[in-house]
Amino acid sequence: MFTDQVRNALKFYAIPLIALIIASWQVSHIQYGLSRWKGGGFGMYTEVHADSRQLVVNDSLIVYDSLRDNKKIRLIFKNYLFYPRKKYCSSLMEQLKIEDDTAKLEIWLPEYDAKMNLLTRKKIHEYIHIED
Amino acid sequence: MNISILKTRQLDKLDKLHILSYFFILYCSIYPFVIYRNPWYIKVSIVLIILLCFFVHFFKKQIMIPLAGLLIFYMYLTFLGKYYIIGNHGFVTIYIGFMLLLAHVFSLEEDVIIRKNSLWLLLVIMLFGAVQKLFSPNYLSGDYMNYVFNVGGLFPLLGLNSTMGAYFEENRVLVQEFANTYPTMSGAVRLNLLFEHQTVLIYWFSIFIILVEFLFVLALFWKNEVYKHLFFLVFLITVAFTRQETGFLSMLCFLCFTQLPQNMPKIFNFSYCFFFLGCLVFMFLKIGYH
């Protein structure tokens, strides 16, 4: 009887439950820099798209278009841009051929003020990476 | 007499699951084929899998194995190393894929499995969509929607008008130039406003969208199926005109279609199928956002 109930619950509710867990996890990680657009939390159209974020490494702007030829670096770049995490820093430095022991990484996001009719930018992430 | 009725019903149920499975296979085939710049061997593999699906279905009356194969292939192409890059409809596709597999495995309860899973999936999607908008200061102040409108991202049909199109284009150039400059706190750019009171109108439009999304959540539990599906169809068509999000809309349409009971007028079946296939055609032609 109990196993039947569990089986039915899994059949009917397991997939939405997984969706709920993934979406809740996404919402809880927005505060750490994860874009609302990404990560399965259905937060599309709530802020400027993650593609508009800008990455600055050691005071120089990294433009996505300049990385077009290298698939691996594009992947690492976007992964870091959409959700900045420490584990991508080393590979990002390596791929960008930055040989400094320390690197300052910043992510900026455009922000539009409708009342003032001004498009500005705000810094949403800053991290000092020290190579081991 | 009873047996023949039973057989007819069984066939109807099978038909719907098979239509849904084929829709899913079509979507999963078109998406990686068209959207990504995949190498030739990936494209050849997708074509082979589609042919295999048809072959296995017609000669073995079996669709579950090719469906599972395509789902794994889709997951490999879209998700491997790209969890934080893929759009939300990528997640919905995976949920739907597993739901269809579950329905095939427990084929005696396929109707209930599909209806219940889709209902709660729709609830999660729309509820999170609405709540995230409610908690985003950029959205709630109308700033974000004004920005999208200024660069011609809303009501794309308005862009047909040459005067407005020129305004949007000018704004897009301004935004692009701004994006290529080094970011500072003091840097700012002023966009062209299309008409007076635009800011207020778009602000109320943003609020209206949140209300409609909450209404969608309530509509999922309406008893009157005709009103419910009329609302869903109007919602889908309106979103398509507001923003051509063909990828996400096709998945949303798929889920709404699964909620349609068997005894509804055929026009509803037709409308959902037409809308879904329309989205796929737009995706294939690379029109809209996916």
Residue pLDDT, tens place only, B154-183: 887 666 666 677 888 899 999 999 998 999
* Mean predicted confidence (pLDDT) in B121-134: 96
**Contact at CB, A37 and B193, closer than 8 angstroms:** no
- Binned at pLDDT 50, 70 and 90, residue B218 comes out as very high
Check pLDDT > 90 for residue A3: no
Report d(CA A23, CA A25) in Å as an integer. Answer: 5
Report d(CA A92, CA B257) in Å as an integer. Answer: 44
Q: Which residues of A touch B87 (CB under 8 A)?
A: 37-38, 44
When mean pLDDT is compared across A39-53, B42-56, B65-79, B238-252, the lowest value belongs to B42-56
* Mean predicted confidence (pLDDT) in B68-84: 85
Q: Considering the entire predicted model, what is its pTM? A: 0.91
Q: Does A18 touch chain B (CB under 8 A)?
A: yes
For residue B1, the distance in angstroms to the closest alpha carbon of chain A comes to 32
Check pLDDT > 50 for residue B10: no
- Binned at pLDDT 50, 70 and 90, residue B61 comes out as low
Which residue of chain A comes nearest to B130, CA vs CA? A43
Residue B1 confidence (pLDDT): 39
Q: What are phi and psi of A54, to 5 degrees?
A: -120, 140
Helix, strand or coil for residue A102? strand
When mean pLDDT is compared across A62-71, B98-107, B247-256, the lowest value belongs to A62-71
Nearest to B106 among A11, A54, A61 (CB): A11
Check pLDDT > 50 for residue B8: no
* A36: Cα within 13 Å, side-chain hemisphere: 22
Check pLDDT > 80 for residue B133: yes
Percent with pLDDT over 70 in chain B: 89
Q: Does A45 touch chain B (CB under 8 A)?
A: yes
Vertex A13 angle, CA A12 and A16, to 5°: 125
Residue B5 confidence (pLDDT): 43
- Return mean pLDDT, chain B: 86
Sheet with A60-62: list strands edge to edge. A60-62, A54-57, A102-113, A118-130, B189-190
- Binned at pLDDT 50, 70 and 90, residue B11 comes out as very low
b/e code B275-290 from CB counts within 10 Å (16+ = b)? bbeebbebbbeeebbb
**Contact at CB, A118 and B129, closer than 8 angstroms:** no
Report d(CA B1, CA A47) in Å as an integer. Answer: 60
Q: Which residues of B touch A112 (CB under 8 A)?
A: 138, 143-144, 146-147, 150, 191
**Contact at CB, A79 and B85, closer than 8 angstroms:** yes
Residue B228 confidence (pLDDT): 96
* Mean predicted confidence (pLDDT) in A17-28: 97
Report d(CA A110, CA A54) in Å as an integer. Answer: 9
User: In the beta sheet, which residues pair with residue A61?
Assistant: A56
